[in-house]
Chains A and B, each alone.
Chain A
Amino acid sequence: MTELVSSSQAPSAEQADAAWQRVQRARHPERPRTLDLVPRIFDDFVELHGDRLFREDPAIVGGPALLEGRPVMVIGHQKGNDTDSNIFRNFGSAHPEGFRKAQRLMRLADKLGLPVITFLDTAGAFPGPAAEERGQAEAIASSIKLMTGLQVPVVAVVLGEGGSGGALAIGVGDEVLALENSVYSVISPEGCASILWRSPEAAPIAAAAMRMTAEDQHELGIVDSIIDEPGEGAHTDPGATATAIKAALLASLARISRLDTETLLATRYARLRGIGVYRESDVGPRAALDEPSLRRRIGRLLHLPGVPRRPRWSEIWPSGDDNNDSERGA
């Protein structure tokens, strides 16, 4: 994957504009949401509710559905279409119970052998105190873990915003598809801008720098294929969008369903394991602490003068006196 390595350059104004336009489209208020598309893609769908632990989270929806007569499990983030519904849906930002509902539905799919189809459309998992108290990080982590081990085919479709851990929590798939105007990122462009540029106004530049458009994600190997949107974007024709998604899903499932369970899991593991770009030079196992000579060992034992004591790892990698918080992650 070395061809991905390029020289660092600040994104140009045009690149920033282009990236920001995609972000705007992905966030378009009329963009079709999971529940707008599900009835158009599937022949039947029964929405199931609740995580059986704490409460029902309307920011994630899911349930069994029929895809060309074949039962599947559908799970997706759900944003609202207006202020009221957005407040009800918490703008598509799930609490831990949303992810735990998703896990419950995935386990049911695993039990019955139903393929899992997920729709990603969230700015991110909800970061409020209540979410922290109930283990937001654990909910995301265990969701990801469950998905890596599901013994059924999993296809994830990025509909709008693929926002960080909250998206990945239902986004680990054997294949990942993305609508043309969707975006996928490790942190929101606003968040990235306020940390690295110290100003949320730099969001368009951050969006370009993170290469978050569907095309870029396809190039990086995160997204397997892109689903073309009609006209000016999905919001102009939800029906045609649904038709395109359905065709892509059927093609995807046809490919994955050929694999037996063992191959399926091995392939998914290899896919995840292979993500990342790095250089590796051949450095053998390194025990930095010296292999002392007999003289030195005896010298140490008897505390003879002139025999250096065994070096410690804390001398090799010591503590600095500063802990700079400015360069943090997401």
Chain B
Amino acid sequence: MPIKFPFSRRRPGPTDAWTKCPDCEQQVFNRQLERNHRVCPHCGHNFRMSIGERIDLLLDEGSFVERDAGLESVDPLGFFDQKPYPDRLEAARVKTGLREAAVWGTGSVSGRRVAIGLFDFRFMGGSMGSVVGEKIARCFEAALVERIPAVIVSASGGARMQEGTLSLLQLAKTTAPLVRLDAAGVPFISILTDPTTGGVLASFASLGDVILAEPKALIGFAGARVASGTVGEELPEGFQTAEFLLEHGLVDLVVPRAELRVTLGRLLALLPPAAVEEGWDDDERRWGPIGVLSGIAEKLGGAVSETVGLDVEGEPTAGNGRSPERAAEQTLERER
């Protein structure tokens, strides 16, 4: 298994010393690029980052612990295009030193513990198959059980074709836990980097309570060529860039890479998980979903029960009444 051992360092050869910026075509010294978070010092072009560089960029030093590193893809369809799927996986493993296109684990941002998932586009286009879907789902579930914010840094072409509809259904598998995070009052911050398209954007990546994007990142549902080919019309200026999405109200902030860590830290401080204890007495933060409901119920003396499906004693009504409190409890019970 050509998995790189964690401490084997890549010795850069002489040809690795310079990189040509695809935007301004200037030669950039690699050491300078690394120090500058892989942003071109001449034109500000964001080079893509590896998962390791992302971890160093966002998380407190030494805080990251990888989880479920033993998950490995198999070939459920016996898929063969130009070459067999297992060969493609093997090539991607050699190229990146990763076992799969995504990694998840826990770590901290400015001292706040988070469950974080990260993608590497170089591993088969960051595509999501069974393993990537499983990792993202487990990341959300860990966030739920520990009641810590979930953060996903996406860079993906979408669902992995080589696993067929099993990949498509990962959209639902990764999205289902978000309903539970909502019920439990645990925040999810989605960070979109270049590129985030297809099935990953059409599932959890678009469902962050807060969505951040990196400048000029390509973000869109369909590939730009598909879009223009289908309708045969000129695409608007800056189509499917992070700035385009900001303008159309689809992301919250476009954050330069140098400010990403600080911005994430501020958001985590401003949007902590809802308090689980009795809402009103909690001096730090009382507007949890539970606090809101019980608080309103108290004030209105039960008049609210029919509309929110929660009577004053806190018993959930049958049928379609929604009770976040109960749902969160059930979720936690099931996790145990």
Contact = CB atoms under 8 A, between A and B. Distances in A.
Contacts of A135: 206, 248-250
A278 B6 contact: no
Interface string A129-146: 101111111101110110
Contacts of B221: 125, 127, 131-132, 136-137, 140, 165
Contacts of B170: 275-276
A256 interface: no
Given A132-B221, A272-B173, A310-B61, A7 B166 contact: no
B36 interface: no
A314 B50 contact: yes
Contacts of B125: 325, 327-329
Contacts of B75: 5-8
A164 B197 CA distance: 14
A129 B78 contact: no
Contacts of A289: 62, 64
B222 interface: yes
Contacts of B69: 283, 286
B158 interface: yes
B99 to A, nearest CB: 9
A268 B178 CA distance: 14
B48 interface: yes
A325 B194 CA distance: 12
Contact of B175 (A141, A164, A206, A212): A141
B275 interface: no
Contacts of A328: 125, 127, 157-158, 197-198, 223
A310 B26 CA distance: 32
Nearest to A286: B66
B88 interface: yes
A321 B19 CA distance: 8
A187 interface: yes
A128 B157 CA distance: 17
Interface stretch (A26-34, A67-75, A192-200): A192-200
A185 B239 contact: no
Given A128-B227, A137-B220, A138-B250, A220 B165 contact: yes
Nearest to B330: A262
A314 B56 contact: yes
B336 interface: no
A192 B205 CA distance: 23
B160 interface: yes
B7 A269 contact: no
A149 B122 CA distance: 34
Contacts of B82: 196-197
A4 B163 CA distance: 11
B160 to A, nearest CB: 5
A316 B239 CA distance: 35
B235 A278 contact: no
Contacts of B79: 8, 209-210
Contacts of B53: 313-314, 317-319
A310 B62 contact: yes
A277 B76 contact: yes
A246 to B, nearest CB: 25
Interface in A1-28: 1-2, 4-11
A186 B165 contact: yes
Contact of A132 (B129, B171, B222): B222
Interface string B145-181: 0000000000011111101111111111101101110
Contact of A184 (B97, B133, B165): B165
A127 B49 CA distance: 28
Nearest to B158: A329
Nearest to A279: B72
Interface string A243-268: 00000000000000000011000101
Interface in A299-317: 310-317
Contact of A5 (B49, B56, B74, B249): B74
A320 interface: yes
Q: Among the interface residues B4, B198, B221, which one has the most CB atoms of the partner chain A within 10 A?
A: B221
A137 B205 CA distance: 9
B254 interface: no
A145 B130 contact: no
A200 B223 CA distance: 16
Contact of B206 (A141, A185, A320): A141
A115 to B, nearest CB: 12
Contacts of A273: 137, 173, 176
B72 A112 contact: no
A120 to B, nearest CB: 12
A6 B56 contact: no
Contacts of A11: 80
Closest 3 pairs (CB-CB, A-B): A276-B130, A317-B52, A329-B127
Interface of B: 4, 6-7, 9-10, 16, 19, 34, 38, 47-53, 55-56, 61-62, 64-82, 84-88, 92, 95-98, 103, 105, 120-122, 124-131, 133-134, 137, 156-161, 163-173, 175-176, 178-180, 197-207, 220-223, 226-228, 230-231, 233, 235-236, 239-240, 248-250, 318-320, 322, 330, 334
23 contacts: A8-B75, A8-B84, A127-B227, A128-B233, A129-B227, A129-B228, A142-B206, A151-B319, A164-B168, A165-B202, A210-B164, A268-B176, A276-B163, A286-B69, A289-B64, A314-B50, A317-B52, A318-B50, A324-B122, A327-B88, A327-B124, A329-B199, A330-B158
Given A222-B169, A280-B68, A314-B50, 20 more contacts: A127-B227, A131-B221, A135-B248, A140-B221, A145-B175, A145-B178, A185-B164, A186-B159, A186-B161, A211-B77, A220-B166, A261-B320, A276-B166, A288-B6, A290-B7, A314-B53, A316-B6, A317-B120, A328-B157, A329-B197
